[in-house]
Structure 1
Amino acid sequence: MTKLLSVRLVAILVGLGFALIALYSFVVGAYAAITEEAAGHVPYEKPEDIAYSFDGPFGKWDIQQLQRGFKVYDEVCAACHSLKYVAFRDLEQIGYDEGQVKAFAASKQVPGIDPNTGEATMRPGLPTDYFPSPYPNNVAAAAANNNAIPPDLSLMTKARGDGTNYVASLLAGYAEPSAELLEEHPEAAPGPGLYHNPYFPNLNLAMAPPLTTAGQVTYDDGTEATVQQMSEDVAAFLTWTAEPTLVARKQTGWPVLIFLLFATVLAYMSKKQIWAAAKRKGD
């Protein structure tokens, strides 16, 4: 009995500890938010809530949208941003055949070694190669972008809250700051080499608007390439690069949940039967 009471006391203390930690975190977060707002923090917009085919527990990839998004990345974003965790052969997962992948890889130059001299060189890509960086190093990247190094986009939608919507909203959201905003927050005015975007945390970023006009990319399926459409398509593509197994994971989850439910019911019935026999024996 004493041992049981000790275990219960420890469990209560552990639970109380977790509750105090959660309460402390809440108080600290609330205080930080209040003081930040009181200090005149410039408010930024929450990402637009956009419906995608892969949303929800039964979501699926829209292969045509992924291919459109890949085209936007290749023709617009690849000039500054890399996809270092994506191999050319991964494109077969979004509907491209082996020949198309080989041709696309061969059209790109990737770092290699000259077999005769052993010196570093550039060579046509192979399907097993990964998307190359547009810059030889970070110094060159910063020099070409107002001292801001363009981030790799492979995992971007996983690295940002509400990542897919954030990317789409950011790309389509460039605009001049309103007079009301500047009057209340003069610090929101973009400085030299910066561009205003209400979805970026400090409202100004070094990346110039990459998608500026309708028809900037010509889609193979005939979809009208508006700025909003291109933004949503490339955001969907970057969601796939960040988590290519997203849909497969959802599809696997349902059988697992059904099995766990069945196993729980079976375990409960077994427990009832075993303890019923023990109870009869005790009586």
Structure 2
Amino acid sequence: MASQFRNLLQKNRNAVAAAAATGVALAPGVAMTTFMSDDCVHPVSYPWRHTGLFSSFDCAAVRRGLQVYREVCATCHSVDRIRWRELVGVTHTKDEVTEMAKEVEVLDGPNDEGEMFERPAKLFDKLPQPYANKEAGRAANGGAYPPDLSLMVKARHSGHDYVFALLTGYVDKPAGKEMMSTLYYNPYFPGGAISMPPPLNDGGVEYEDGTEATISQQARDVVQFLHWTAEPELDERKKSAGKYLSVLAFVCVATGLWKRWKWGPLKTRMISYVKET
């Protein structure tokens, strides 16, 4: 029994050693090996400027991303965690957001007669949802329910890079790849077969600021908007962290100086004992 256990332990050690050696040997090909699963490609890491410690959201890009979302993505996807009032001071002024909200009808009630009614949306309302319920969403999309995008950037590994790569990564399926006729090939999606058709096209939207609406530009803008929807408090959190760390550094310096002033004379004095004669 003891000899069998030793043999099993030795086999496990050999397997672990072989795996470690393989990982070291393939280190130069990290993008092709470590970050590639069996059924999808890991996206490339892009330099997003708003993710730095001292960087903030590009409000112009977030505004363009909101436009892309409203004109392209909102037909299928929702951002259930965002209300109109949260856009004020970020993408638009209060008056602009109020006018945009009035274009949307929301169900409210009941009224004095106990009946539900529709009214123009107000700042405290959520952004509209494309479907009344999940069943309606599945029925309109061949059984696949479009997920909510509020936390999509945080819900996926390498969220920024994944969403950008997914939006710009549609290609023709490789030879021998079997897929249903209603699916589209995207190597960044697990399995490669995705129900969503390519959502972006060159010139698909007309930016208010005159920016050229290429596919990559639209994807970049909507990714930044989706990061903002996932963490609308990010800029304020960074600002608060800077203040707290500055105060903490001042307190640490003051504490060190006080300690040296208080304990310096005591630690540097010499105590001598003289024998009594």
Shorter-chain TM-score tier? 0.7 to 0.9
What corresponds to 2:118 in structure 1? Answer: 122
Q: Is the alpha carbon distance of 1:160 and 1:41 closer, same or farther for their aligned partners in structure 2, counting shifts above 3 Å?
A: closer
What corresponds to 1:254 in structure 2? Answer: 242
Give per-residue Cα distances to partners, 1:177-234, cap 9 Å, x unaligned.
333xx4xxx5xx43343221111122222222111x2111010111111111111111
The offset of 1:92, in angstroms, is 1.2
What corresponds to 1:71 in structure 2? Answer: 67
What corresponds to 2:221 in structure 1? Answer: 233
Tell me the number of residue pairs that the alignment of Structure 1 and Structure 2 aligns. Answer: 241
Question: TM-score, normalization: structure 2?
Answer: 0.77
- The reply to whether residue 204 of structure 1 matches residue 193 of structure 2 is yes
Partner letter of residue 155 of structure 2?
A
The DSSP-based 3-state class of the residue aligned with 1:122 is strand
The offset of 1:117, in angstroms, is 2.9
Q: Distance in 1 between the 2:89 and 2:189 partners?
A: 32
Task: Give structure 1 stretches of 5+ with no counterpart.
Answer: 1-26
- The reply to whether residue 86 of structure 1 matches residue 74 of structure 2 is no
Q: Distance in 2 between the 1:174 and 1:120 partners?
A: 43
- Select the structure that is richer in helix: 1
Q: Equivalent of 2:170, from 165, 168, 174?
A: 174
Partner letter of residue 242 of structure 1?
A
Question: TM-score, normalization: structure 1?
Answer: 0.76
Contact 1:108 1:124 in 2 (8 A): yes
Q: Distance in 2 between the 1:194 and 1:133 partners?
A: 24
The offset of 1:152, in angstroms, is 1.0
Q: Distance in 1 between the 2:44 and 2:179 partners?
A: 23
The offset of 1:272, in angstroms, is 4.3
Partner letter of residue 246 of structure 1?
L
Q: Equivalent of 1:143, from 128, 139, 150?
A: 139
Sequence identity (%) = 39
The DSSP-based 3-state class of the residue aligned with 1:104 is helix
The offset of 1:169, in angstroms, is 1.4
The offset of 1:171, in angstroms, is 0.8
The offset of 1:279, in angstroms, is 4.3
Partner letter of residue 195 of structure 1?
Y
Q: Distance in 2 between the 1:163 and 1:176 partners?
A: 24
The offset of 1:176, in angstroms, is 1.7
Q: Distance in 1 between the 2:120 and 2:192 partners?
A: 40
Partner letter of residue 207 of structure 1?
M
The offset of 1:124, in angstroms, is 1.7
Partner letter of residue 209 of structure 1?
P
Q: Which moved further from structure 2: 112-121 or 131-140?
A: 112-121
RMSD after superposition = 2.6
Q: Equivalent of 2:210, from 199, 214, 222?
A: 222
Partner letter of residue 134 of structure 1?
P
- The reply to whether residue 191 of structure 1 matches residue 191 of structure 2 is no
- Higher Cα radius of gyration: 2
Partner letter of residue 137 of structure 2?
A
Contact 1:214 1:225 in 2 (8 A): yes
Contact 2:84 2:127 in 1 (8 A): yes
Task: Give structure 2 stretches of 5+ with no counterpart.
Answer: 1-15, 24-32, 272-277
